[in-house]
Structure 1
């Protein structure tokens, strides 16, 4: 498969022991390899924006991470703060508990608030919802993907990388089949090599979230 994998990779570093030095290295690597973005915790957005200002690499950050259990108001405030600091892309975590309680009304309302936030922003934002598919059954994944498509989110994403499992081919195929061609699918969690990345792309992913980006592209 002839694809430019580097341009599809969110070069990710979300570990709790991350330092400024680690972020500087991450951003330098992203520029060298031409990755789509760096994905960092919110406190490192300003540094990443400064380091990447003369490049095409976007700054992505995570919202309500990793549990998704903050109130919607807190998530929206966190998102607004990240935007003010210069973030280009936001990956927010769905409230998995609401899904299990069948409170899809609350899940959809949160989706709609993120879409409203995007529409009122002065910059072009990309909003991705993290489903944490390792906890969900097929019916729940389908329902969330349908709602993401209907409300107008930009991407559905498999995992935080902090759950009990990461991306798998079956979930990527399912997600792509539901969202169609106008919503992105981000495979994230446990993707460590070129073969796995290509398999995810062939299954329907058009973005890869990984901390192993250099290993993947240096084949």
Structure 2
């Protein structure tokens, strides 16, 4: 079991993908967010596709990774558009891509089509850079438990590295129940990312204890500062 007392600073910091994804956030906000990411030495920033080049330049020479989102937040783009967007972000410097599943198609029972679409995006990007990491966003607020399990299995079969709960823009985000279900529905080598409404240290610890290995949050600094205060660092 993970606890606040058992975590090191680095272990906690490297759980975070610092999110800079709100529609109103500006290029200045990207600068502020990347400076925050460097200061706290988090795992990555997750920026809008149009901001990947800027974030890559700002984080050059650091060990903070650049991530982005594809077909965000609804997953409704056709496969060709998802491929084009993903390839452009890789060209601009993204190394982690959070791809939104086609939610409506999954709920229509088009499981094979959803799997093939994700595989097509992954294969196209890996032809350019085999090191790119893929996290598939489900948007669990819209899915049944059976659909979450289906989404886990098709993501693994398509070659994804992570399964992810949500975009943060639906009616609800990460829940402990969903994290536990996703962890139980993928092999050990597949990681689970929690996202949506993550604002406190205790919440992060609970999510980790239910199987999350990464957390997407725009409250990164507040959570890590809370950790430092409670640990007397």
Normalised to the residue count of structure 1, the TM-score between the two structures is 0.97
Deviation at residue 151 of structure 1 after TM alignment: 2.4
Q: How many residues align?
A: 219
In the alignment, the residues of structure 2 paired with residue 180 and residue 31 of structure 1 have an alpha-carbon distance, to the nearest angstrom, of 32
The answer to whether residue 17 in structure 2 is matched with residue 10 in structure 1 is yes
Deviation at residue 99 of structure 1 after TM alignment: 1.1
Normalised to the residue count of structure 2, the TM-score between the two structures is 0.92
Deviation at residue 117 of structure 1 after TM alignment: 2.3
Aligned to 2:98: 91
**Structure 2: runs of 5 or more not aligned:** 227-233
SS for the counterpart of 2:209 is helix
Aligned to 2:109: 102
Aligned to 2:150: 143
The answer to whether residue 30 in structure 2 is matched with residue 27 in structure 1 is no
Deviation at residue 123 of structure 1 after TM alignment: 5.0
Contact 1:67 1:93 (8 Å CA) reproduced: yes
Deviation at residue 16 of structure 1 after TM alignment: 1.1
1:44-98 C-alpha deviation (Å, 9 max, x unpaired): 1111000100100000011000111010110010000001111111101111110
1:184-203 C-alpha deviation (Å, 9 max, x unpaired): 10000000010001100000
SS for the counterpart of 1:83 is helix
1:194-219 C-alpha deviation (Å, 9 max, x unpaired): 00011000000000000000111112
The answer to whether residue 68 in structure 2 is matched with residue 66 in structure 1 is no
RMSD in angstroms over aligned alpha carbons? 1.0
In the alignment, the residues of structure 2 paired with residue 66 and residue 31 of structure 1 have an alpha-carbon distance, to the nearest angstrom, of 26
Contact 1:118 1:124 (8 Å CA) reproduced: no
In the alignment, the residues of structure 2 paired with residue 117 and residue 6 of structure 1 have an alpha-carbon distance, to the nearest angstrom, of 31
Contact 2:116 2:158 (8 Å CA) reproduced: no
In the alignment, the residues of structure 2 paired with residue 119 and residue 95 of structure 1 have an alpha-carbon distance, to the nearest angstrom, of 21
Deviation at residue 119 of structure 1 after TM alignment: 2.9
SS for the counterpart of 1:181 is coil
Deviation at residue 5 of structure 1 after TM alignment: 1.4
In the alignment, the residues of structure 2 paired with residue 49 and residue 147 of structure 1 have an alpha-carbon distance, to the nearest angstrom, of 31
**Structure 1: runs of 5 or more not aligned:** none
1:84-130 C-alpha deviation (Å, 9 max, x unpaired): 11111110111111011101121011121123124312351001110
Aligned to 2:231: none
